[in-house]
Amino acid sequence: MGICGSKDTESYSNRNTSAQNTGSTVRKSGPKSSSSEISHNKSNPTAPLKSNEKFESFPEPTAKQQLQTVAEGQETTVNTSSNPKQSNVMDSTDGSNNSKNDTVEGKNKLKYHAKVLLLGSGESGKSTILRQIKIIHQNGFTDDERKEYKPFVFQNIVESIQCITKALVQYNLKSQITNLTGTELEFLSTYELPYSATNDLSYSLDGRLVELTKKLVTDEKVEKLLSSNEYEFYLLDSASYFFENLDRIGAPDYIPTTMDILRTRTQTSGIFDTKFQMEDLEVHLYDVGGQRSERKKWIHCFDNVTAIIFCVSLSEYNQTLLESPTQNRLEESLNLFESVVNSMWFKKTAVILCLNKIDIFIDQLPNYPLENYFPDYVGGANVNKAVKYILWRFKQLNRANLNLVPYVTQATDTNNIKLAFAIVRETILHKNLLESGVITS
């Protein structure tokens, strides 16, 4: 089964990234996972829940309550809420919004410093989380910075179009398209962004491309292709979002919105760092490339790490790697997680496990049964049981018994990420207090 390819574009804002169509998808099936690779507990991870444990109506624990729950070894509640009232996260450290009194008072406070690694396999949502940090702690994006994302938005759209046209050929549906002529389909399948699209920020999307794309995605056969589990192929998970906003994105005066930026897929290459502050905690966060070729660069960041934020895309259970089309993505994340948590470098490191893209996971689970890829799962289409099963698979690998704090996230939801980082803060401070002897457990 062919994978839709991609092409490099210009670098964005001193970040060596490329607008490759390597975003997570809900269309690409992967091989079944081998259950024998993991030592299973005798307990059933998908056992029936208590009557009040429904995924949609879980209570919203505070960050401290969640931390205490994990510390006491209790079952962790899956929480997808994004209540900003529960977040202890403060604004940016640039001082633009702080009063002089706050500055003086801050100098008298005890400051904690944390070195945090943002790890995970490719397309797990790490770069989106990094953009959320800029929104939450660094006053967001200026208009000039927004414009610099235009080439990546355009490239995401073009590559999504071409993945669809390739799927039409793959499933012999091209001749059944009624909204477009053969010539128009050929235009879409071979379209390439001009060089000016990557170096001229005033460039606007080709009007013909916009109109033909709207006709393509509203064709009856294409709608079935996108919605039915009968067809499985590689497609950017933000494709439908961009298609729904084609008129706005195709306007001559288009400037990417915050959500456009969060939805845009760019592949991270190399290691990038950012600094920000959460109340009395100063964080130095390192984001590293998730593709296999990038992982050898991680070793340079391993000294004196306070915590790891390990990102996993829940929706990747039915996908394969771009680097290795026979390797299941979730299995790859499990293997990577195992090597990280049991590494000699992280014997005293806290790990925050972000089970990301819950929104996509909820949508795709009924159409792509988890048991088709992980045969030992028996929870059916119950989202809560499915998430608990995946979490259980990760917990089995923590042989070093590191402090593991799981949290379900939707990286495109700013309030959800605020709450997640409140948990990160409390996890780090709890670790510091333990190591300093202030508390014993």
Beta bridge partners of 308: 117, 351
Q: Is 238 annotated as a binding residue?
A: yes
What integer pLDDT is reported at residue 238 of this predicted model?
92
Domains along the sequence of the chain with CATH: 17-30+150-255 (1.10.400.10), 37-142+269-436 (3.40.50.300)
Q: Is 62 annotated as a binding residue?
A: no
Is 287 among the catalytic positions? Answer: yes
Give, for 189, the enclosing helix (H) or strand (E).
helix 182-190
Q: Is 271 annotated as a binding residue?
A: no
| Whole-angstrom distance, CA of residue 441 vs CA of residue 424 | 17
Is 291 among the catalytic positions? Answer: yes
Q: Is 269 annotated as a binding residue?
A: no
Q: At 179, list the tokens.
A: 């909204």
Q: Is 294 annotated as a binding residue?
A: no
Tens of pLDDT, residues 39-55:
344 444 544 333 333 33
- Which member of 287, 332, 413, 426 is catalytic? 287
- Which member of 22, 46, 86, 128 is catalytic? 128
Answer whether residue 358 shows pLDDT above 80: yes
Query: pTM, whole model, 2 decimals?
Result: 0.73
What integer pLDDT is reported at residue 232 of this predicted model?
79
Q: Is 266 annotated as a binding residue?
A: yes
Is 128 among the catalytic positions? Answer: yes
Q: Is 123 annotated as a binding residue?
A: yes
| Whole-angstrom distance, CA of residue 403 vs CA of residue 76 | 13
Could you tell me whether strands 307-313 and 281-288 are parallel, antiparallel, or unpaired per DSSP bridges? unpaired
Tens of pLDDT, residues 275-310:
998 888 899 998 876 556 555 666 666 778 899 999
Is 219 among the catalytic positions? Answer: no
What integer pLDDT is reported at residue 296 of this predicted model?
60
Q: Is 273 annotated as a binding residue?
A: no
**Cβ pair 155, 9 in contact under 8 A:** yes
Q: Which DSSP category does 318 fall into?
A: G
Answer whether residue 141 shows pLDDT above 70: yes
Answer whether residue 63 shows pLDDT above 70: no
What integer pLDDT is reported at residue 294 of this predicted model?
59
Tens of pLDDT, residues 89-139:
333 334 444 444 444 444 445 578 889 999 988 888 998 999 999 999 998
Give, for 203, the enclosing helix (H) or strand (E).
none
The confidence band for 369, taking pLDDT boundaries of 50, 70 and 90, is very high
Q: Is 126 annotated as a binding residue?
A: yes
Q: Is 127 annotated as a binding residue?
A: yes
Q: Which range has the worst mean pLDDT, 120-124, 143-147, 156-160?
A: 120-124
- Which member of 27, 131, 265, 425 is catalytic? 265
What integer pLDDT is reported at residue 323 of this predicted model?
67
Is 265 among the catalytic positions? Answer: yes
- Which member of 291, 327, 363, 376 is catalytic? 291
Q: Is 358 annotated as a binding residue?
A: yes
- Percent of the chain exceeding pLDDT 90 equals 48
Stronger pLDDT, 206 or 231, i.e. the higher one? 206
Q: Which range has the worst mean pLDDT, 3-17, 156-170, 264-278, 374-388?
A: 3-17
| Whole-angstrom distance, CA of residue 137 vs CA of residue 139 | 6
The confidence band for 56, taking pLDDT boundaries of 50, 70 and 90, is very low
What integer pLDDT is reported at residue 271 of this predicted model?
79
Q: At what angle do helices 220-227 and 150-170 cross, to 10 degrees?
A: 100
Helix (H) and strand (E) counts in the chain = 16, 8
Q: Mean pLDDT over all residues of the chain?
A: 78
What integer pLDDT is reported at residue 320 of this predicted model?
78
Letter for the amino acid at 201? Answer: L
